[in-house]
Amino acid sequence: MVLIDGKKLAKTIRSNLKKDVDELKKNGIHPKFAVILVGDDPASKIYVRNKNRACEEIGIEYEEYLLKDDVSMEELLSLIDKLNEDKTINGILLQSPLPKHLDINKAFKRINYKKDVDGFNPINVGKLALGQDCFVSCTPYGVIKMLDAYNIPIEGKKAVIIGRSNIVGKPLIQCLLSKNATVTVCHSKTKDIENITKDADIVVTAMGKPKFLKANMVKEGATIIDVGINRMDNGKLCGDVDFENVSEKAGYITPVPGGVGPMTIAMLMENIVKAAKMQNK
Ligand code: NAP
């Protein structure tokens, strides 16, 4: 079994991006990223802090906009408009989840697709489906980067994704399809999931169900990518895969933590640098 070390891979990607950013700065281009955080969801605060740290490491300028959880939709949209118009800002990210009274889809749509480094604007979602150059949402992008970095073949392989969220499962369908995998998607209404996963060369779990995928559900030698992040009663993190058992059967497997998580942030950084380059062509 080979452990796919997302932490190490992400570190290499960040260090290459730092070189890119240093080069851009020599040409007077200073990549800048703006994050909007609404309310004080503790998990969101951690995610935002990690993004800030990655920006600091790479040399990307970082601005945070903290909005109270009773902010109106109009106020949120007007902040997005302001950031869209600000030529010094290359990438904008709206941290989810949002308080219930705010329409997240309307907000994502308002972010200029050229600054939409999270890849959630419908224009980027559509471009991804059409196989056009776009900002790919960071977690699926990170999954593909990991498979490529470990030379895991995708073309002609049977890939099964468990989870169909707009941020992970759905964009990952397009990413795997564009690499010529045969893709099956499972969700909460899928019957006999184990019979589907057992046949797969690649299984990606993105469910939020601790240790759901067991050894009897996977094929010997399969590649297992665990997107799930779950906090257990003892405070520790675990994925959607029962790592101890599945790792004995898998050919390649990602750990949690240290797998997809760091890659998601590295891909966000890559998208910001790409945005800065595109906007300063
Ligand atoms: P989500 O929006 O809650 O979607 C979960 C998906 O899993 C849904 O499609 C759901 O099916 C499916 N599902 C739930 N229970 C199932 C079951 N018993 N059998 C089959 N399918 C089931 O979650 P998400 O935002 O995609 O996140 C998924 C997990 O990934 C979470 O643990 C999250 O924390 C983690 N995550 C990690 C990263 C990272 O960087 N590593 C990034 C994003 C998310 P239905 O559609 O039928 O409800």
With 0-12 CB in 10 A as exposed, 13-18 as middle and 19+ as buried, what is 42?
exposed
- The domain of 165 spans 138-261
Residue 133 among the catalytic residues: no
- Please give the number of the atom of ligand 1 that sits closest to the Cα of 259: 41
Pairing type for strands 237-238 and 230-231 reads antiparallel
Write the CATH number for 169: 3.40.50.720
- Whether residue 50 is found in the same domain as residue 106: yes
Q: Taking the CB of residue 25, how many other CB atoms lie within 10 A of it? A: 12
Any idea which of 42-46, 66-70, 218-222 has the lowest mean pLDDT? Answer: 42-46
- Whether residue 159 is found in the same domain as residue 72: no
- Whether residue 95 is found in the same domain as residue 53: yes
Write the CATH number for 35: 3.40.50.10860
Q: What is the mean pLDDT of residues 108-116?
A: 98
> What confidence tens digit (pLDDT) does each residue in 203-225 have?
999 999 999 999 999 999 999 99
Letter for the amino acid at 208? G
* Domain total of the chain: 2
Q: Given CA atoms 239, 18, 83, 122 in this order, what sign does their dihedral have?
A: negative
Q: What is the mean pLDDT of residues 222-231?
A: 97
Q: Is the CB of 44 under 6 A from ligand 1?
A: no
Q: Taking the CB of residue 151, how many other CB atoms lie within 10 A of it? A: 7
Residue 279 among the catalytic residues: no
Name the residue at shortest CA distance from atom 16 of ligand 1: 188
- Model pLDDT, residue 281: 87
- Whether residue 148 is found in the same domain as residue 249: yes
Q: Provide the token pair at 93.
A: 């990210």
Query: What's the mean per-residue pLDDT of the chain?
Result: 98
127/131 Cα distance (integer angstroms): 6
Q: Is the CB of 254 under 6 A from ligand 1?
A: no
What is this structure's pTM? Answer: 0.98
Report the percentage of the chain scoring pLDDT > 70.
100
Report the percentage of the chain scoring pLDDT > 90.
100
Letter for the amino acid at 74? E
- Whether residue 102 is found in the same domain as residue 142: no
Has residue 247 been placed in a domain? yes
Which domain-ending residue is among 113, 129, 159? 113
